[in-house]
Amino acid sequence: MPHPAGRSGRGRGASRHGDVREVELGGAVRPIPHASTQAAVLDVIRAAGTISRVGLIAATGFTGATISTVVRRLIDDDLVVETGRAESTGGKPRVLLRLNPAARYAVGVHLDHSGITYVLTDLAGAVVARMSRTGAGTDDPPAVVARIARETAALVQGAGVEERRVLGVGLVAPGPLTAQSGMRPAPPALRGWADFPLHDAVREAAGLPVVLGNDATAAALGEYWSGAVSGSATFAAVYVCTGIGSGILINGIPYHGTSGNAGEIGHVCVAADGPECWCGARGCTEAVAGPAAVVAAARADPATARAAGLADRPRRGASSVAADFAAVARAARRGEPGPRALMDRSARYLAVATRTLATVLDLDRVVLTGQSLAVAGSIYLPAIREELDRTFFARQTHPVAVQLSTSAATAPAIGAATMVLQSELVPLHTGARIPANLTEEERTRRAPAARG
C-alpha cells in the first residue's frame, strides 16, 4: 500500500536554489489508500509543491525504478514538469518536479436555491475563472440543468481553455447528493430535486463526466487540497450558507458516513425544547441559529427589522434568506443593538454545536466557511474560539485551531472542482466490505463442491 504524506501543505525543511524549493514532507506519514502507484506519486507531488525523485522515494516507500517509471509517464502525459534543481548538499543537485497546472482543468458548480456559483480550476486547484448566477429558485430541475450546461460552457470558453483539457464537472448542493440516491433528504427549498436524476441529466447536458457531492464536504476538501489546513490530521469545515452543516476530513480523506449524512451539525440538538426543525426534530442548531431563524427573528421585531433594512424589503421566501441574513450581519457589524443581539445568540448556539463536533471527533482544526460566514465570520469566529478554548474536552491535551476560510463564499464550488481532480487523477480505493454473515458466505462459496 503506498503511503505518501496524508495532508496537503508545504512541509518543513525546504532547501532553496534561486526561486526553486524542494520540500520535505514533515510529520508522521499516514497511509492513504490510493488506487494506483501513479495516483500516489502524483498526490505526493501535489502536496509537496516541488519535490525530487529522491524525495518521492522517501515519501512513498517505492523503489527508485518504480519512481523513475511513474515520473517518466507523468511527464509524458504533461501532468508533471521538471522545474530546475535544488541546492546541492554535496553531490549533483537534484532535479525538482512539480505539477503542470495548465495540463488539466475542472469545473465546480455549487447549486443552491439562492444562487449558483461556478469556478474553473487548474490542476493545482487554483481558480482560473469564476462567476455567480441566479439560483435554482422554484424552476423545474430540467430547466436549471440546461442553464448549468450553458453557463459551464461559457465559463470554460471565456477562460480560453480547450474543452479537451477539462476533466469534468463537480456539482454540489445542500444535503447528501449521490448518483444512486439523488438528493435525500432534500432541504425544504429544494424538495423538487429529491427524485430528479441529476447526475445523468448534467452529464448528458454538459457532455462531461460528473461527480456529485455534499456542499459542506466539498468545502472541506477544497480547503485541504489548497493547503489551507496544512498540518491538520483531523479537521472539519463548519459551513453556513442558507443552512448549517459541516464537512469532515480524516487524514485527507472525506468522511461521509453510511448515507452521506455525516457532519450534519445543523441537526444536532442545542435546545431540547426549541422550535421544530424541518427535519422533524426539535431544537436543531439550524432551527434556532441558522440564517432563516435569524432573519425570521429580525423581521418579527420592528426595531430590528428597521435597523437591518428589512422593514421595507419584501419577503421573497427561501430565495431571499441569504440576502436578508447578510443585511442583518452588516447591521450587527455597525453596532445596531437588535441585529447584534440576534447574531451573538446565533453564534453562541453554533459554537456549542461546533464544540460537540470537535469533542466527538477530537478535531485539531476547524475552518469556518460558506456564504453566510463570508459576511458574518467576524462575529462567529471569536464566539467559537472562546467556546472551544473554554469547554473542548481535550483542551488540556491539545487546542483546536479555528480560522476563517479565505474563500468562504466560493468554497463549495472550489471543493466541487477538487472532487473532479481527485477522482480523475488521484483516485482512492473505496475499501472492501466484510460479508455480513461470514458463515453463510463460506457455505455459499463451498456449495459447488458439495456431494449428495
Q: What count of other Cβ atoms lies within 10 Å of the Cβ of residue 205?
A: 19
150 vs 10 pLDDT, higher one: 150
Single-letter amino acid, residue 421: L
H/E element holding 204? helix 198-206
Q: Please provide the average confidence, as pLDDT, over all residues in the chain.
A: 84
CA atoms within 13 A on the CB side of 149: 19
- What is the rounded distance in angstroms from the CA atom of residue 6 to the CA atom of residue 233? 8
87 vs 112 pLDDT, higher one: 112
138 vs 169 pLDDT, higher one: 169
In whole angstroms, what separates CA 140 from the centre of its chain? 27
Phi and psi, residue 278, nearest 5°: -65, -20
Single-letter amino acid, residue 13: G
Percent above pLDDT 90 for the chain: 59
How buried is residue 119: exposed, middle or buried, by Cβ count under 10 Å (0-12/13-18/19+)? buried
- What is the rounded distance in angstroms from the CA atom of residue 216 to the CA atom of residue 175? 8
Annotate 344-381 with DSSP letters as a single string.
HHHHHHHHHHHHHHHHHHT-SEEEEESHHHHHHHHHHH
Which grid coordinates belong to 189?
427549498
For 193, 241, 277, 289, 415, the CA distances from 293, given in Å and listed in that order, are 23, 13, 10, 6, 27
According to DSSP, the residues that pair with 182 across neighbouring strands are 178
Model confidence over 217-263: pLDDT tens digits?
A: 999 988 887 777 777 778 999 999 989 999 999 887 889 888 888 99
Are the C-beta atoms of residues 123 and 100 closer than 8 Å to each other? yes
Q: Coil, strand or helix: which one is 368?
A: strand
Model confidence over 373-415: pLDDT tens digits?
A: 999 999 999 999 999 999 999 999 999 999 999 888 898 999 9
Through-space distance between the first and last CA atoms of the chain, rounded to whole angstroms: 44
Q: Strand locations in 86-158, DSSP E? A: 95-99, 105-112, 115-122, 127-133
* Segment among 119-123, 129-133, 225-229, 331-335 with least mean pLDDT: 225-229
If pLDDT is split at 50, 70 and 90, which confidence band does 179 have? low
- What is the rounded distance in angstroms from the CA atom of residue 206 to the CA atom of residue 153? 8
Model confidence over 29-60: pLDDT tens digits?
A: 445 677 788 988 998 898 888 999 999 999 88
Quote the pTM value: 0.81
